[in-house]
Amino acid sequence: MKGKISKTVGLLLVSLVLVAPLFAAGQVETKDSTYPVKEVTCIVIAAAGGGTDAMARAVSTPLEKLIGKPIVILNNGSAGGLIAMGDIKKAKADGYTLGVFSNTDVANFAYTQKEIPVSIDDYTYIAGLNTTGDILLAKKGSSIKNTSDLIALAKKNPKAVTIALPSPIQEMSLSLVNEKLGIETTGVVYDGGNKVFADLLGGHVEAGILSAKFIQQAEDQGLAILGLMLETRLESFPSVPTFLEQGYSILNPARRMLVGPKGLPTEVVDKLVADLKKGYEGPISTSITTIGEVPALLTGAELAKFLEADFAMRKAFLTK
Protein backbone atom coordinates (compact mmCIF):
# COMPACT_ATOMS: atom_id res chain seq x y z
CA MET A 1 0.00 0.00 0.00
CA LYS A 2 2.74 2.36 1.08
CA GLY A 3 4.77 1.50 -2.02
CA LYS A 4 1.81 2.29 -4.22
CA ILE A 5 1.36 5.74 -2.72
CA SER A 6 4.99 6.65 -3.13
CA LYS A 7 4.86 5.38 -6.71
CA THR A 8 1.85 7.58 -7.40
CA VAL A 9 3.55 10.57 -5.84
CA GLY A 10 6.65 9.81 -7.85
CA LEU A 11 4.67 9.64 -11.10
CA LEU A 12 2.98 12.91 -10.25
CA LEU A 13 6.31 14.58 -9.63
CA VAL A 14 7.77 13.24 -12.87
CA SER A 15 4.80 14.50 -14.86
CA LEU A 16 5.05 17.89 -13.16
CA VAL A 17 8.68 18.12 -14.14
CA LEU A 18 7.77 17.21 -17.70
CA VAL A 19 4.96 19.74 -17.86
CA ALA A 20 6.94 22.55 -16.24
CA PRO A 21 8.79 23.64 -19.41
CA LEU A 22 5.43 24.14 -21.10
CA PHE A 23 4.44 26.68 -18.46
CA ALA A 24 7.80 28.32 -18.76
CA ALA A 25 7.46 28.42 -22.53
CA GLY A 26 4.09 30.09 -22.11
CA GLN A 27 5.78 32.76 -20.05
CA VAL A 28 8.44 33.31 -22.67
CA GLU A 29 5.84 33.97 -25.31
CA THR A 30 4.05 36.66 -23.35
CA LYS A 31 7.34 38.18 -22.19
CA ASP A 32 8.31 40.11 -25.30
CA SER A 33 5.25 42.34 -25.26
CA THR A 34 5.52 43.22 -21.57
CA TYR A 35 9.24 43.21 -20.70
CA PRO A 36 10.12 42.91 -17.87
CA VAL A 37 8.02 40.13 -16.38
CA LYS A 38 10.53 39.25 -13.66
CA GLU A 39 13.47 40.72 -11.79
CA VAL A 40 16.45 41.97 -13.78
CA THR A 41 20.02 41.12 -12.74
CA CYS A 42 22.60 43.83 -13.21
CA ILE A 43 26.25 42.75 -13.08
CA VAL A 44 28.54 45.51 -11.82
CA ILE A 45 32.20 44.97 -12.68
CA ALA A 46 33.44 46.43 -9.39
CA ALA A 47 33.15 45.60 -5.70
CA ALA A 48 30.43 47.11 -3.53
CA GLY A 49 31.26 50.57 -2.22
CA GLY A 50 33.22 52.04 -5.14
CA GLY A 51 32.31 54.64 -7.75
CA THR A 52 31.00 52.20 -10.37
CA ASP A 53 28.86 50.48 -7.74
CA ALA A 54 27.50 53.80 -6.51
CA MET A 55 26.59 54.78 -10.08
CA ALA A 56 24.82 51.46 -10.74
CA ARG A 57 22.78 51.83 -7.56
CA ALA A 58 22.02 55.51 -8.11
CA VAL A 59 20.48 54.57 -11.47
CA SER A 60 18.90 51.21 -10.58
CA THR A 61 16.99 52.33 -7.47
CA PRO A 62 14.81 54.90 -9.33
CA LEU A 63 14.81 52.79 -12.51
CA GLU A 64 13.28 49.71 -10.88
CA LYS A 65 10.27 51.80 -9.91
CA LEU A 66 9.89 52.84 -13.53
CA ILE A 67 10.23 49.38 -15.08
CA GLY A 68 8.08 47.89 -12.34
CA LYS A 69 10.36 44.97 -11.46
CA PRO A 70 13.29 44.76 -9.06
CA ILE A 71 16.85 45.21 -10.33
CA VAL A 72 19.29 42.99 -8.45
CA ILE A 73 22.88 44.25 -8.38
CA LEU A 74 25.62 41.57 -8.48
CA ASN A 75 29.08 42.91 -7.70
CA ASN A 76 32.15 41.12 -9.03
CA GLY A 77 35.35 43.14 -9.09
CA SER A 78 37.56 40.08 -9.57
CA ALA A 79 40.55 40.56 -11.97
CA GLY A 80 39.77 44.26 -12.28
CA GLY A 81 36.27 43.47 -13.52
CA LEU A 82 37.34 41.16 -16.32
CA ILE A 83 35.52 38.11 -14.92
CA ALA A 84 32.25 40.06 -14.66
CA MET A 85 32.82 41.42 -18.16
CA GLY A 86 32.98 37.83 -19.42
CA ASP A 87 29.82 36.95 -17.46
CA ILE A 88 27.85 39.77 -19.11
CA LYS A 89 29.06 38.66 -22.53
CA LYS A 90 28.00 35.05 -21.89
CA ALA A 91 24.57 35.96 -20.48
CA LYS A 92 21.38 35.21 -22.42
CA ALA A 93 20.37 38.23 -24.50
CA ASP A 94 16.83 38.41 -23.12
CA GLY A 95 17.12 41.63 -21.13
CA TYR A 96 17.19 39.90 -17.74
CA THR A 97 20.94 40.17 -17.38
CA LEU A 98 22.36 43.64 -17.83
CA GLY A 99 25.65 45.17 -16.81
CA VAL A 100 27.35 48.43 -15.89
CA PHE A 101 30.87 49.37 -17.05
CA SER A 102 32.73 52.25 -18.70
CA ASN A 103 33.88 52.78 -22.26
CA THR A 104 37.41 52.84 -20.81
CA ASP A 105 36.94 49.40 -19.20
CA VAL A 106 35.71 47.60 -22.29
CA ALA A 107 38.30 49.20 -24.58
CA ASN A 108 41.08 48.36 -22.16
CA PHE A 109 40.08 44.72 -21.83
CA ALA A 110 39.29 44.31 -25.53
CA TYR A 111 42.63 45.65 -26.73
CA THR A 112 45.13 44.64 -24.05
CA GLN A 113 44.46 41.07 -22.93
CA LYS A 114 43.60 37.66 -24.33
CA GLU A 115 42.87 35.68 -21.14
CA ILE A 116 39.12 36.19 -21.49
CA PRO A 117 38.56 37.33 -25.05
CA VAL A 118 36.11 40.22 -25.06
CA SER A 119 35.56 42.58 -27.96
CA ILE A 120 33.72 45.87 -28.17
CA ASP A 121 31.17 44.05 -30.39
CA ASP A 122 30.24 41.58 -27.64
CA TYR A 123 27.84 44.01 -26.01
CA THR A 124 24.66 45.95 -26.62
CA TYR A 125 25.22 49.51 -25.42
CA ILE A 126 21.88 50.66 -23.99
CA ALA A 127 22.74 54.06 -22.54
CA GLY A 128 25.57 56.25 -21.31
CA LEU A 129 24.72 57.20 -17.71
CA ASN A 130 27.13 59.95 -16.75
CA THR A 131 30.16 61.80 -17.94
CA THR A 132 33.43 62.11 -16.11
CA GLY A 133 37.08 62.49 -16.85
CA ASP A 134 40.47 62.37 -15.20
CA ILE A 135 42.14 65.30 -13.50
CA LEU A 136 45.86 65.97 -13.15
CA LEU A 137 46.86 67.33 -9.78
CA ALA A 138 50.08 68.15 -7.94
CA LYS A 139 51.19 66.81 -4.54
CA LYS A 140 50.56 68.74 -1.35
CA GLY A 141 52.94 71.68 -0.98
CA SER A 142 54.29 71.20 -4.50
CA SER A 143 56.02 74.03 -6.34
CA ILE A 144 53.81 73.10 -9.29
CA LYS A 145 50.79 75.41 -9.21
CA ASN A 146 49.63 75.19 -12.83
CA THR A 147 50.30 73.49 -16.14
CA SER A 148 53.18 75.77 -17.15
CA ASP A 149 54.97 75.03 -13.85
CA LEU A 150 54.73 71.31 -14.63
CA ILE A 151 56.03 71.82 -18.17
CA ALA A 152 58.94 73.90 -16.91
CA LEU A 153 59.92 71.37 -14.22
CA ALA A 154 59.58 68.37 -16.54
CA LYS A 155 61.60 70.05 -19.30
CA LYS A 156 64.39 70.77 -16.85
CA ASN A 157 64.56 67.18 -15.60
CA PRO A 158 63.14 64.76 -18.20
CA LYS A 159 61.50 61.66 -16.65
CA ALA A 160 62.19 62.88 -13.10
CA VAL A 161 58.63 64.04 -12.43
CA THR A 162 56.65 61.09 -11.01
CA ILE A 163 52.92 60.88 -11.72
CA ALA A 164 50.83 58.41 -9.73
CA LEU A 165 48.11 56.45 -11.55
CA PRO A 166 45.25 54.57 -9.84
CA SER A 167 45.55 51.60 -12.26
CA PRO A 168 47.15 50.69 -15.61
CA ILE A 169 43.97 52.03 -17.31
CA GLN A 170 45.13 55.61 -16.62
CA GLU A 171 48.33 55.06 -18.64
CA MET A 172 46.32 56.52 -21.51
CA SER A 173 45.69 59.79 -19.67
CA LEU A 174 49.38 59.92 -18.79
CA SER A 175 50.44 59.39 -22.40
CA LEU A 176 48.11 62.16 -23.52
CA VAL A 177 49.61 64.48 -20.90
CA ASN A 178 53.16 63.66 -22.02
CA GLU A 179 52.35 63.94 -25.71
CA LYS A 180 50.25 67.11 -25.67
CA LEU A 181 52.39 69.00 -23.15
CA GLY A 182 55.55 67.85 -24.94
CA ILE A 183 57.15 66.50 -21.76
CA GLU A 184 58.53 63.23 -20.40
CA THR A 185 57.31 62.05 -17.01
CA THR A 186 57.34 58.72 -15.14
CA GLY A 187 54.10 56.95 -14.29
CA VAL A 188 53.80 55.06 -10.99
CA VAL A 189 50.89 52.61 -10.96
CA TYR A 190 48.95 52.17 -7.68
CA ASP A 191 46.06 49.95 -6.76
CA GLY A 192 43.19 52.36 -6.41
CA GLY A 193 42.61 56.09 -6.32
CA ASN A 194 42.58 56.25 -2.51
CA LYS A 195 46.24 55.30 -2.25
CA VAL A 196 47.17 57.75 -4.98
CA PHE A 197 45.41 60.46 -3.03
CA ALA A 198 47.13 59.42 0.22
CA ASP A 199 50.57 59.53 -1.42
CA LEU A 200 49.85 62.95 -2.94
CA LEU A 201 49.04 64.21 0.55
CA GLY A 202 52.23 62.62 1.89
CA GLY A 203 54.28 64.10 -0.95
CA HIS A 204 55.74 60.76 -2.08
CA VAL A 205 55.03 61.43 -5.76
CA GLU A 206 55.16 64.77 -7.59
CA ALA A 207 51.73 64.61 -9.22
CA GLY A 208 48.84 62.24 -9.83
CA ILE A 209 45.99 61.44 -12.15
CA LEU A 210 42.64 60.80 -10.46
CA SER A 211 39.02 60.65 -11.49
CA ALA A 212 36.98 63.84 -11.20
CA LYS A 213 35.18 62.53 -8.12
CA PHE A 214 38.31 63.39 -6.10
CA ILE A 215 37.99 67.13 -6.90
CA GLN A 216 36.13 67.92 -3.69
CA GLN A 217 38.67 66.10 -1.49
CA ALA A 218 41.59 67.63 -3.40
CA GLU A 219 40.22 71.15 -2.96
CA ASP A 220 39.63 70.48 0.76
CA GLN A 221 43.27 69.48 1.14
CA GLY A 222 44.57 72.41 -0.91
CA LEU A 223 46.03 70.35 -3.76
CA ALA A 224 46.53 72.25 -7.04
CA ILE A 225 44.40 70.80 -9.85
CA LEU A 226 46.15 71.50 -13.14
CA GLY A 227 43.38 70.50 -15.50
CA LEU A 228 40.40 68.35 -16.39
CA MET A 229 40.57 66.02 -19.40
CA LEU A 230 37.12 66.86 -20.78
CA GLU A 231 35.81 69.26 -23.45
CA THR A 232 33.95 71.49 -21.02
CA ARG A 233 34.17 72.30 -17.31
CA LEU A 234 32.03 70.28 -14.91
CA GLU A 235 28.89 72.07 -13.74
CA SER A 236 29.51 70.88 -10.20
CA PHE A 237 33.08 72.27 -10.12
CA PRO A 238 33.12 75.37 -12.34
CA SER A 239 36.47 76.46 -10.88
CA VAL A 240 38.42 73.53 -12.33
CA PRO A 241 39.77 74.45 -15.79
CA THR A 242 39.93 72.00 -18.69
CA PHE A 243 43.20 71.36 -20.50
CA LEU A 244 41.40 72.20 -23.74
CA GLU A 245 40.80 75.81 -22.68
CA GLN A 246 44.49 76.05 -21.71
CA GLY A 247 45.32 75.13 -25.31
CA TYR A 248 46.19 71.44 -24.82
CA SER A 249 43.85 68.93 -26.40
CA ILE A 250 44.02 66.32 -23.63
CA LEU A 251 40.65 64.58 -23.83
CA ASN A 252 39.85 61.28 -22.14
CA PRO A 253 36.11 61.20 -21.49
CA ALA A 254 34.71 58.28 -19.52
CA ARG A 255 31.07 57.29 -19.50
CA ARG A 256 29.64 54.58 -17.33
CA MET A 257 27.09 52.72 -19.41
CA LEU A 258 24.14 50.41 -18.97
CA VAL A 259 24.87 47.47 -21.25
CA GLY A 260 23.68 44.00 -22.10
CA PRO A 261 25.04 41.03 -24.05
CA LYS A 262 25.22 41.30 -27.83
CA GLY A 263 21.90 41.04 -29.66
CA LEU A 264 19.56 42.41 -27.00
CA PRO A 265 16.02 42.62 -28.48
CA THR A 266 15.06 46.10 -29.70
CA GLU A 267 11.92 46.04 -27.51
CA VAL A 268 14.09 45.60 -24.43
CA VAL A 269 16.44 48.43 -25.35
CA ASP A 270 13.53 50.72 -26.28
CA LYS A 271 11.69 50.01 -23.03
CA LEU A 272 14.81 50.70 -20.91
CA VAL A 273 15.71 53.83 -22.87
CA ALA A 274 12.15 55.18 -22.57
CA ASP A 275 12.15 54.62 -18.79
CA LEU A 276 15.66 56.05 -18.41
CA LYS A 277 14.56 59.20 -20.28
CA LYS A 278 11.67 59.60 -17.84
CA GLY A 279 14.01 59.00 -14.90
CA TYR A 280 16.63 61.49 -16.07
CA GLU A 281 13.99 64.21 -15.95
CA GLY A 282 13.78 63.73 -12.21
CA PRO A 283 14.85 61.09 -9.70
CA ILE A 284 17.82 59.54 -11.55
CA SER A 285 19.47 62.91 -12.19
CA THR A 286 19.00 63.77 -8.53
CA SER A 287 20.49 60.51 -7.25
CA ILE A 288 23.49 60.75 -9.60
CA THR A 289 24.13 64.34 -8.52
CA THR A 290 23.94 63.21 -4.88
CA ILE A 291 26.84 60.80 -5.33
CA GLY A 292 28.92 63.63 -6.80
CA GLU A 293 28.75 62.57 -10.44
CA VAL A 294 27.44 64.42 -13.49
CA PRO A 295 24.28 62.85 -15.00
CA ALA A 296 24.40 62.67 -18.80
CA LEU A 297 22.06 60.32 -20.61
CA LEU A 298 23.34 59.32 -24.02
CA THR A 299 21.36 56.83 -26.13
CA GLY A 300 20.72 55.60 -29.64
CA ALA A 301 22.62 57.15 -32.53
CA GLU A 302 24.38 59.70 -30.32
CA LEU A 303 25.80 56.96 -28.09
CA ALA A 304 26.86 54.92 -31.12
CA LYS A 305 28.62 57.95 -32.60
CA PHE A 306 30.44 58.69 -29.34
CA LEU A 307 31.56 55.07 -28.94
CA GLU A 308 32.72 54.73 -32.54
CA ALA A 309 35.10 57.67 -32.25
CA ASP A 310 36.11 56.77 -28.68
CA PHE A 311 36.90 53.10 -29.40
CA ALA A 312 38.85 54.06 -32.51
CA MET A 313 40.96 56.50 -30.49
CA ARG A 314 41.58 53.93 -27.72
CA LYS A 315 42.35 51.14 -30.16
CA ALA A 316 44.95 53.29 -31.88
CA PHE A 317 46.53 54.09 -28.55
CA LEU A 318 46.34 50.68 -26.87
CA THR A 319 47.49 48.55 -29.81
CA LYS A 320 50.37 50.71 -30.96
Partner 1 sequence: MELVVQVMANVFSLEVLFICLLGTVTGVILGAIPGMNGGIGIAVMLPFTYSMSPATGLLFLGGMYLGSSYGGSISGILINVPGTAESACTAIEGYPMTLRGEGKSALYYSIIASTFGSIVGLFVLVFFTPLLSAVAVKFGPPEMMLLAICGLTIVGSLTGKNVVKGMIAALFGLFLAMVGVDNATGRFRFTFGTTALLGGIDLIPAVIGLFAIAEMVKQGLGQIEIGFDENTKELEEVRFGAIFGNTFRKYSAHLLRSSAIGTFIGVLPGTGGAIASFLAYGDAKSSDKDGSFGKGNPAGIIAPETANNAAVGGSLVPMLSLGIPGSATSAIMFGALTIHGLIPGQRLFIDHADVAYTFMIGMFVVTFFMFLVGVFGIPLFAHILKLKMKYIIPVVILFSLIGAYSVNNSVHDVFIAIILGLLGVLFARLEIPNTPIVLGLILGGIIESNYVRSSIIVKAQGLNFFAYVLSRPICIFILLLTVYLIWANVRALDRGKKIQRETNIEQDLQEG
Task: Tell me which residues touch partner 1 (CB under 8 A).
Answer: 47-50, 53-54, 57-58, 61, 73-80, 82-83, 86, 108, 112-113, 115-116, 159-162, 167-169, 186-191, 194-195, 197-199, 201-205, 216-217, 220-221, 289-292
* Between 112 and 249, CB nearer to partner 1: 112
* Between 171 and 267, CB nearer to partner 1: 171
Residues with Cβ within 8 Å of residue 203, at least 6 apart in sequence: 139, 140, 141, 142
* Between 197 and 306, CB nearer to partner 1: 197
d(CA 237, CA 300): 28
d(CA 147, CA 8): 82
* Between 44 and 272, CB nearer to partner 1: 44
Q: How far is the CB of 266 from partner 1 (least distance, A)?
A: 29
d(CA 285, CA 44): 20
Which helix (DSSP H) or strand (DSSP E) does residue 41 occupy? strand 40-44
Residues with Cβ within 8 Å of residue 266, at least 6 apart in sequence: none
Q: How far is the CB of 82 from partner 1 (least distance, A)?
A: 6
Q: How far is the CB of 94 from partner 1 (least distance, A)?
A: 20
Helices (H) and strands (E) in the chain, counts: 11, 11
Is 135:209 a contact under the CB 8 Å cutoff? yes
Q: How far is the CB of 8 from partner 1 (least distance, A)?
A: 32
* Between 66 and 116, CB nearer to partner 1: 116
Q: How far is the CB of 13 from partner 1 (least distance, A)?
A: 25
The phi and psi torsions of 30 (rounded to 5 degrees) equal -75, -20
